[in-house]
Structure 1
């Protein structure tokens, strides 16, 4: 009896249009050396215009293709049952005017959100009261508190998001990166369930 062939599929990958998707692209293969090299080059799908943006490579389809070539070969699938393939279509370069307008909109929106929050929690009276407690004098605009507070707010946002332009302060992912990762994982799971032609064919039956 031959040694088993182990296949571990990736969660998702990106490919170029009109390319061939091989087994080595969607997962890792281990087993007998001569069989491993052959299986890694196994063509699973040819990307065409009909595929649009997403193709789901089902593990069951891979097993079927290998069984046709090697009927007596034992195959073990490890990890995800599908691999979601994202087709990287050519995108037009964004206009600088549009980018500037979006940046301005986000900047003004963030500023309004921060100001409304401080108004709701009565931040200015709190700072005035703090100034009175520390100095014994009433001051309408205690700038020695407000200016450092404003600077600290900006620095705190930079540290929270762990980025200064393209520079990272440490290897810990920022909250935004975690949210993007969770969104991509949910998107891949949705695509695997709803775009899987193999599963849909079985349901239609």
Structure 2
């Protein structure tokens, strides 16, 4: 009786250099236990130094490998047709001096951006006008409005990014996380199209 095997490629996996990539690493498999175990252990690719950072493995490569060992299996494929194999090399130690330098650069840049925006929209004059409307007094520095406004600005940034240091305020993703997710999705699609050797073939002119 012909066995049926359901296979779904994972979107991305992370491996170390010189790792041996098996079908179990690349895909989720549903079948009877004995067949599933045998298929998962089959080697598809061996990571080497010439691969640099990324390898894309196509589902057709996996199917070909399965058929070479189990020619009578009925393979049903669902989901993605490629898996991105990202090779994680040893990370360099992070320099505290570099971290402080980047932090200061971002802090000063953000502060200047906010200050320039407030200057462009004449925020001080707006506060003075609002204070005069409420109290009937003209003052140069309406601190009664400026201090709560400054505190509210900082609180608003915390709520906007949904993080207080490393602590997440709630489970909803921040706009920055959504943008980073969209960027990663576009990057993955680009990699799949350009790094997958099976997706494009250059034919010699005859």
TM-score range, shorter chain: over 0.9
**Could you tell me which residue of structure 2 aligns to residue 50 of structure 1?**
50
Question: What's the C-alpha RMSD, in Å, of the aligned pairs?
Answer: 1.3
Structure 2 stretches lacking a partner, 5+ long: none
- SS in structure 2 opposite 1:198? coil
Name the residue aligned to 2:67: 67
Residues 174-189 of structure 1 correspond to what in structure 2 (within 5 A)? 174-189=174-189
Structure 1, unpaired ranges of 5+ = none
* Divergent runs of 4+, >4 A: none
More divergent stretch after superposition (144-153 vs 181-190)? 181-190
Paired residue total: 204
Contact 2:22 2:44 in 1 (8 A): yes
1:80 Cα offset (Å):
0.7
TM-score in terms of structure 2 length:
0.95
CA distance in 2, matches of 1:203, 1:8: 28
Q: Which residue does the alignment assign to 1:35?
A: 35
Aligned to 2:129: 129
Q: Give distance in 2, aligned partners of 1:13 and 1:185.
A: 14
TM-score (norm 1): 0.95
Find the residue that maps to 2:199 and give its secondary structure: helix
Deviates more, 1:131-140 or 1:31-40: 31-40
Q: In the alignment, what sits opposite 1:98?
A: 98
Match of 2:111 in 1: 111
Matched, 1:5 2:9: no
